[in-house]
Structures are given as C-alpha cells and as structure tokens.
Chains A and B, each alone.
Chain A
Amino acid sequence: MMYFKKNVYFVWQDLQLNKTSIKMTSGVVALLMILGTVPGSENTLVRWHSVKDFILLYRYEFFHFPAFLFLLGSKFKVNSWIILRRYKNRNQIGTHKVLIVILCALFFSFIVSMLGVLCTAFVKYIVYPNMKNYHAIFLYVPKSSQHSSFIYFVCIYFLITTILGIVFVIINDIFAHRFLSVVMLTTFVILDRFTISTIPYLFYMSETISPIYTVIILSVIAVILGSIVRFSSTCKNYYTQDGLL
C-alpha cells in the first residue's frame, strides 16, 4: 500500500512533465465540439437531445478513441532510467502502467463530459429559448421520450476507455511497438463496430437492459486486465528490450 501512494505521485508527475499532448488533445476535442454548436454545422443529418447524443455525434470508434490513444501513447514512453530509479520491483512498474491508463482515461472522460455539458447548456439555455424557427443549431431536438442518464454514460465511457487503454498496454507489452499497437487496436475497435458492435451496444442499449450488471462486469474486466498487466510485467524479459515501457 505504501508504494501505491508513491505510484500515484509518480504518474501525476509524468502527466505534468509533458503538457503539450494534453493541450493538443483537449484543444482539438474542444474545437470540434464547439464547432458542432455554431451556425453552419446544421448540414449534418444527426439530431441530438441529450449530452450523450451530443458527445457521440463524433463516433467513439473513429474520433474519441483515436484521440485517447494519441494522449495515452504520448504519455507512455518514459525514460527507462527514471523508471529504474523510482521503483524497486517489477510489480510496481506494472502498476505504474495501469495507473497511467486510469488517470488518462479519467482526465479524458472529464474533458469530454465537461465540454459536452457546456456546449449543450449553451445551446439549450442560451440559443434555444430565443430561437423562432426550428432550424436548430446542430439539429437540437428539445423534447424526447428517451431520457438517458448522464452519470451512467460518463461511467460507461470511462470504463470502456480504461479497458481499451489497458488492452493497448497489453498489446504494447507483447509487440513492444507503440504504433503497431495503435494500428491493431484501432482496427479491432472499428471491426467491432462493423461486426458484433459491443461498444455501440454498451453505449446505447445496456442502459435499458441491465445497467448495474454492465458496470459491474466492465469493472471486473478492467481489474482482471489490470492484474494481467501487473503479472506480465513480472514475467517480462527486460534484458532483450530497448525500453522498459
């Protein structure tokens, strides 16, 4: 437990060391979300009535997830000597990797949800009350029978992002090549959309069918994958590899 506290501190330090990637990712996400609310963007044939709809206007597989990988991957290459000086055993290095993923996912979910809330609030309360005609900005639909829970959506968003991030770490551990991992994971996530569509199911359907079980199952999967990363880092042969992470 003692080193866990240190681990969190070190991960926080890593996140603070290079702020360019954080600024770039949140800047691009913010720019595109804000552009979604300005006049001129009403050409797209997508309607929304809740924050969740608004956020998922940019598809998770094609936009949010690559943006997250961009953030995570740029945080992921830490100088080997720094890692060696920080930690005593390999378990701690494994925990470090998992914690980077969790903190990045937390940050990313926070940014996306906050921007979503701000943009939708802007349209709902500032633009919409004074609007005479129904050419609403980004085809905003004021009333809908479906009221999706925002908290549940953020929770699922965070869990899916964390799980995919940890899978990225695992693939990266196996191939020791960040770009190959990005290519593989992006391919799998898009393939999932075209075949069994797990991620769209989790976002759109799970809420009405079994919300609590979904959250529990996703958390369990995240914990299992996290332990796999920890155990695999103890069995890894570091002497044949260029970098530790």
Chain B
Amino acid sequence: MDGVVIMYVELLKRIKNRNFYISVLCLFLIVVFSVITGLKQYRENMDLVQRIYSNNENVLALVSAHKEWVGLSSQNFFSSLYYFLFPLLISIALTDSIYSEKHSGNISYQLTRMSRKSYYWKKVLFTYMSSFLLFIIPLIFGIILVNVLVDQWDYSFYSNMYKHLINGTVELPDNSFEGEKKNIFSSLLAISPYLYILVYYVMGGLFAGGYVCIALASSLMLKNKYFVILLPQVIYMVSWALFTILGKLSWDPFNFLDPKQPIEGLSYSPIVIAFVFQVLIAFGLYVYGVKKNDDVL
C-alpha cells in the first residue's frame, strides 16, 4: 500500500511539472503530424497502385493502412523523427526527479519519513515504468488515429496475404513487393500486424526506460542538469555513430528498434544482449550513485 502511495505522489509531482507537459505535447504532436503525412502518402500510394495494377486484389491487400502507423511509415519524416528524438523527449519529463529534489533539499525531508532503500527503489521503478508508458502511449494513440481516419480495424486480409507471400503461394504481377518480407518477427506479422507492432513498441519502451534510468543514475553523480537530461540522447546517438562506423549495424538500437527494419541482417540475439547490457549498466550506475550519495542522510 505504501508503495502505491509513493507512486501516486511521484505522479502528482510529475503532473505539476511544466517539463512533463512539454514532453507529452512534443511526443503527441510528432505522432499527429506523422499520421497526417502518412495518410496523405497512403492515399497517393493507393491511387497509384490502383492505376498501375488495375485493381489486382492481391496487390491491393498488400497496400494496407497499417503501414502508416508511426514507425512503420516509410519515407515519413515525423515517424523517423519520433524514433530519433524519443530519448530526449522522454528524458525532459522524467530524468530530473532525483536531481531537483537533491538540489532543493526536499530529499532530506523525504528520507526522514522513509528508508533510503525504499526511496531510491521507488524512484527508479517509477521512472522506468513511466518512461515505458510515455513512449508507448503516443504510439498507440497513433494506431487508433490511423484506424479511425481510415475506418479500418481489421487487418487480417493483409496478414493472410503476407503469409502467402512468405510461403511463395501468391501470384503477384512483379517482384516489387519482395521488400515486404521482414527478417525478424515475420511470423508475428503473418498472425496480425497488431501483434508485430506491439512487440516493437514494447521493445522500444523497454529501451526508452533503460536510457532514462541511465540518465537518472548519472543525475546522482553529475552536477550539470543540462548534461543529465541530454544524456539519453547522447548515448543513443553516440552508439549509432559508433556501430555505423564499425559496421555492426544490427547491434545498434537505432536500427533494431525501428519496426520498418531498415537494414539487412537483423537477428534476435543482439537485441537481447543489448537490452541486458543496458539494464546492467543502468543498474550498476544507479547502485554506485546511491552509494556515493549515502551522506545525504
């Protein structure tokens, strides 16, 4: 019960913070713009395919509206922007929770009322969970928005066609749809696009939580607030540059978190290893930071 109360108080603190609203507003705005441009592309594409393939049903099934969900939408600036800026946008809302309490002295009051262990544990748990939700809720809103605007909720026609496509049992006029085939999570897409995108969104949410927790841990050691809040974005971009330069593209979160699967040679093991590594770093840094701050009370 005590834990729930602390979480509720944390939530109230965040809701009374201007940064939280800025972050949420930016995330939702990007999603809305992405949906608008995506649907424009979808209508143009549909029109084009109808004219070129003269209403071939197999082809029309493959041009589905779910491809305009944020993340899956190709050639869409705002969809890519969401996946480029999410560590910073989420970090703005959540990272400074310990930092501000430490610098205002509020932490001392709280630590007289609860144990250090409980305080720091609740902080990291709340931050991880809320960054997960903050990443995932705008994206789910994007799915609902696309579905409402196109007025289509059932994509089983596409998944059936996809199943035939990967089995090679469908007749298509040319091979321009070969790029539809996904390297990983392909079986999920054959069941339902909802399942496929959900796996990617959950994966992105877990990584977003990891990035924000690393920044939260660093806020126990660094003095500059600007550093602390920009740190998730810095880690994300430096790892992007590093893996690109070393030619290990499938190890880079920037590539494997993208539902479009923009590169060849993706596999499951780098994702799991990167996730475990990230959680270990976050946890290690946090424990170190907490130990370093044990003179607070």
A residues neighboring B (CB under 8 Å): 18, 20-21, 24, 28, 32, 35-36, 40-44, 58, 62-63, 66, 70, 73-74, 76-77, 177-180, 182-183, 186-187, 190-191, 194
- The contact of B230 among A70, A187, A190, by CB within 8 Å, is A70
CB distance A43 to B226 under 8 Å? no
Whether B234 and A41, one on each chain, are in contact in the complex, defined by CB atoms closer than 8 angstroms, is no
Flag if B226 contacts A35 (CB, 8 Å). Answer: no
B85 & A183 in contact (Cβ 8 Å cutoff): yes
Q: What is the CB-to-nearest-CB distance from A101 to chain B, in angstroms, rounded to a whole number?
A: 15
- Chain A residues in 8 Å Cβ range of B234: 28, 66, 70
A58 to B224, CA, bound (A): 27
Stretch among B165-173, B198-206, B242-250 lining the A interface: B242-250
State the CA gap A179–B230 with chains docked (Å).
Answer: 8
Chain B residues within 8 Å of A177, by CB: 18, 22
> How far does the alpha carbon of A186 sit from the alpha carbon of B237 in the complex, in Å?
13
Q: How far is the CA of A77 from the CA of B224 in the complex (A)?
A: 10
**CB–CB B247/A74 < 8 A:** no
Q: Determine which of A32, A63, A74, A191 lies in contact with B226 in the assembled complex, contact meaning CB atoms within 8 Å.
A: A74
Please tell me if the beta carbons of A32 and B88 are within 8 angstroms of each other in the complex.
no
A32 nearest CB neighbor, chain B only: B241
- Contact between chains at A21 and B227 (CB < 8 Å): yes
Q: Which residues of B in the span 18-62 have a Cβ within 8 Å of any Cβ on A?
A: 18-19, 22, 26
Which listed residue, B92, B222, B230, B245, touches A35 by the CB 8 Å rule?
B245
Select B245's contact among A20, A24, A41, A179, beta carbons within 8 Å: A41
CB pair B19–A58 under 8 Å, yes or no, is no
Q: B237 contacts A41, CB within 8 Å?
A: no
Hey, which chain B residues are within 8 Å of A42, CB to CB?
Answer: 247
Cross-chain contact A74 with B245 (CB below 8 angstroms): no
Docked-complex contact A183 and B242, CB < 8 angstroms: no
Contact string, B77-93, partner A, CB cutoff 8 A, digits 1/0?
A: 10001001100110010
- CA distance in complex: A66, B241 (Å): 13
A18 to B88, CA, bound (A): 23
Q: Determine if B19 and A179 form an interchain contact, defined as CB atoms under 8 angstroms apart.
A: yes
Residue of B nearest to A40 (CB): B246
Quick one: given A20-B224, A58-B241, A70-B234, are A179 and B247 in contact (CB under 8 Å)? Answer: no
Most buried by A among B81, B88, B89, B241: B241
Do A179 and B88 touch across chains, with their CB atoms under 8 A apart?
yes
Could you say which residues of chain B place their CB within 8 Å of the CB of A194?
77
Q: Interface size (B, Cβ < 8 Å)?
A: 29
Chain A residue with Cβ nearest B92: A179
Say whether B143 faces chain A, with CB atoms less than 8 Å apart. Answer: no
Residue of A nearest to B234 (CB): A70
Q: Does B276 contact A (CB under 8 A)?
A: no
A35 vs B85: C-alpha distance when bound (angstroms): 25
Residues of B whose CB lies within 8 Å of any CB of A are 18-19, 22, 26, 77, 81, 84-85, 88-89, 92, 222, 224-227, 229-230, 233-234, 237-238, 240-242, 244-247
Q: Specify the main secondary structure of chain A where it touches its partner.
A: helix
* Cα-based distance from A58 to B222 in the complex (angstroms): 27
Give the contacting residue for A186; candidates B77, B85, B241; CB below 8 A. B85
Chain B residues whose C-beta falls within 8 Å of the C-beta of A21 in the assembled complex: 224, 226-227
Give the Cβ gap from A102 to chain B, nearest Cβ, in Å.
20
With both chains docked as a complex, state the minimum distance between the C-beta of A75 and any C-beta of chain B, in angstroms.
9
| 11 examples of A-B residue contacts, CB within 8 angstroms | A32-B242, A40-B246, A44-B245, A44-B247, A66-B234, A70-B230, A74-B227, A179-B230, A180-B92, A182-B230, A183-B88
CA of A41 to CA of B249 in the docked complex: distance in angstroms?
Answer: 12
Q: A74-B227, A77-B226, A177-B22 are in contact. Are A63 and B241 (CB under 8 A)?
A: yes
Measured CB to CB, the closest approach of chain B to A67, in angstroms, equals: 8
By beta carbon, the residue of chain A nearest B233 is A66
Residues from chain B with a CB closer than 8 A to the CB of A20 are: 222, 224, 227
Contact A66 to B245, CB < 8 A, known contacts A21-B224, A178-B226: no
Chain A residues positioned under 8 Å from B89 (CB to CB): 183
Q: How far is the CA of A120 from the CA of B247 in the complex (A)?
A: 20
- Report the Cα distance A32→B238, complex, angstroms: 8
> Are B22 and A180 in contact (CB-based, < 8 A)?
yes
For B19, B224, B229, the residue with the greatest tally of chain A CB atoms inside 10 Å of its CB is: B224
Distance in Å from the Cβ of B18 to the closest Cβ of chain A?
A: 8
Q: Please report the C-alpha to C-alpha distance between residue A183 and residue B19 in the assembled complex, in whole angstroms.
A: 13
Residues of B within 8 A of A63 (CB): 237, 241
A24, B238: Cα distance in complex, Å: 12
Query: Which one, A24, A28, A73, A179, contacts B22 given CB within 8 A?
Result: A179
Question: Of all chain B residues, which has the CB nearest A178?
Answer: B226
